[in-house]
Structures are given as C-alpha cells and as structure tokens.
Amino acid sequence: MIQRRTSQFDMVLSTRMLSMVVLLSLTVVLFVFFRSDAFYVRQIEVGGLNHLTAEEVFTLSGVANMHLFWIDPAVVRESVLRSPSVSDANVRVGWPPHLVQIEIREREPALIWEQAGVRTWIDVQGRVMQQRADLTDMLRIVVEGVEAPVGPNVLIPQSVVAGALQLRTIYPEMNAFLYDPNEGLGFQDSRGWRVWFGEGTAMAAKDNVYRAIVADLQARHIQPEFIDVGDINAPYYKIWWGPEETSASDA
C-alpha cells in the first residue's frame, strides 16, 4: 500500500512537471514570437512590377513595422488596390524571411492627358494615373479651356479615350490631339484651320465627312477658320476668307 501511494504521487508529480515544462516552453515560444524582430515586417517582396516601385507598394500595403500575427492579407490587398495604378493584387503571408509577398497587376496607360500643363496617364477605362515615365510614342491629349489639372479621382469619359485612339489609327503620324470640353477631340490642320471631331467611336465616318468638306472648300478657294464634324449629321464650318470675302458661313 505504501509503495502504491508513492507511485501515484510520482505520477502526479511527473504530470505536473510535464505541464510546467510545456507551459514554460510555450511561454518562451510566445516571447520569441512577439519579441523577435524577425517577425516584424521591415520589407516585403513584390512581383509584377512594370512602372510602380517596390517602395511604393510597400507604402500602399500599410504593413510597415507590423507583427506577422496582426497582418490580414485581405486588408493588405484592399490597401494596395486603392492605387489607381493597380488593377489587381495577390497577397501571401508566410514565415521569416519571406513574411509578406505581393504580386500585383498594373493598369496599362493608353494615352497621356495634359491639362493645365500637368501630364498624367489615362488607361482605356479613363482612369487617371500618375505619369511614371516619359513614353514618347504614347498618344498625348492636350486639354484646352481648363485651368486646373485633372484630379486623381476623376474619370475621363471612355468616349473620349476611345475616340482619341481611333483618331490615332486614322492619323498615325500625329502624336498629339487637342481636347475641348465643348468641342471634343480635334487638331490643328497643317493647312491653317482647326477641325473638331467630338467624341465617340465613329471617327472614321466623321473623317470621311471632314475630307469631303475640305475638298469642296479648296475647290472653291475658301479658307475655313475651323471645321466641326462632331455631329456627323450636322457638320459646319466658319469661313476665314473666300472669293465672296464673307466672314462666316455654315454648311
């Protein structure tokens, strides 16, 4: 009986010792986990970069100096997607040394938008993005009649973007077009007048009307001040000078 009591006592003591060892081990692990610098984010790994920099994505992510335990990949993704230059992002959280990995997909600029002397990039959906490089072969739209630069949250109408890209296919030699909020897209013809095409995707048909008007005016030795084919069903022009020396005429 005495030996049996001793065995039970030893068993209880061993169980308590094991529990203490486990508790002490967990305490050490938690101390290392929360106190070790290895589990705090000082930098991230970024893939898919084209125009953005890893430093910009790091700032957008909002994870600087955060502990690994408190990082929510969904929240980080939403933070990165706030940038108009990012169309999608995939966030993975791992263990040291690869704590946070972000793979992004950037929006591709379709044209340069120059307003009040400030240039920005515009994608095909009309989203405004920061210009991050000087791409000389990209189409440029120069805005007239507006004194303030375009804001970061402004959405350029897709009819303007699509129309500009169509005009580029018709006039590939031109690297810049004009834009007026009232007249739409246009350019300064090398023969001395301006032409306005409005907006939308019917630029080829409008150009046919424009060329017909020019041929008619030149045949009659009339110099227009401008030609407007924005409304293809009601084009008009203003005469600069002609045989009858009138100041204006509608067609």
For the stretch 201-245, pLDDT in tens is: 999 999 999 999 999 999 999 999 999 999 999 999 999 876 643
For residue 65, give the 3-state DSSP assignment. coil
Joined tokens for residue 219: 């045949």
What pLDDT, on the 0 to 100 scale, is given for residue 223?
A: 94
DSSP per-residue letters across 7-61: HHHHHHHHHHHHHHHHHHHHHHHHHHHHH-GGGB-S--EEES-SSS-HHHHHHHH
Strands (E), the chain: 45-47, 86-93, 100-106, 111-115, 118-122, 128-130, 140-143, 176-180, 184-188, 194-198, 223-228, 236-241
| Amino acid code (one letter) for 100 | V
Report pLDDT for 25: 53
Is a pLDDT exceeding 60 seen at residue 172?
yes
Given phi > 0 = left and psi -120 to 50 = alpha, else beta, which region is 174?
beta
Could you give the CA distance from residue 213 to residue 206 in angstroms, rounded to a whole number? 11
pLDDT tens for each residue of 53-107: 999 999 999 999 898 888 999 999 999 999 999 999 999 998 888 889 999 999 9
Structure tokens at 119: 């240039």
Tokens 């009819």 sit on residue: 159
The token pair that represents 193 in the structure block: 């007048």
| pTM for the model | 0.78
* pLDDT exceeds cutoff 80 at 6: no
How much is the pLDDT for 28?
A: 53
What pLDDT was estimated at residue 96? 84
At 250 the pLDDT is 46
Is the pLDDT reported for residue 137 higher than 60? yes
Considering the chain, what percentage of its residues have pLDDT values greater than 70?
Answer: 82
Backbone angles phi, psi at 217, to 5 degrees: -65, -40
